[in-house]
Amino acid sequence: MARLGMAYTMEDAIADLRAHSLDAPQKPSLPDPAFIDDYERRIGFSFPADYKQFLMEASDVFVGAITPLIITESGEGPDELSVVLQEARDVGVPAEWLLICEDNGDYYCLTKEGTIRFWSHDGTTEESWSDLAIWIRDVWIAGN
Domains of the chain: 10-141 (3.40.1580.10)
Question: Reduced to 3 states, what is the DSSP secondary structure of residue 116?
Answer: strand
Is the pLDDT at 3 greater than 60, yes or no?
Answer: no
Please report how the helices 49-58 and 10-20 are oriented relative to each other, as an axis angle in degrees rounded to 10.
30
- Fill in the amino acid letter for 34: A
pLDDT tens track for 25-66: 677 889 999 999 999 999 988 999 999 999 999 999 989 888
The angle formed by the CA atoms of residues 67, 93 and 140, to the nearest 5 degrees, is 25
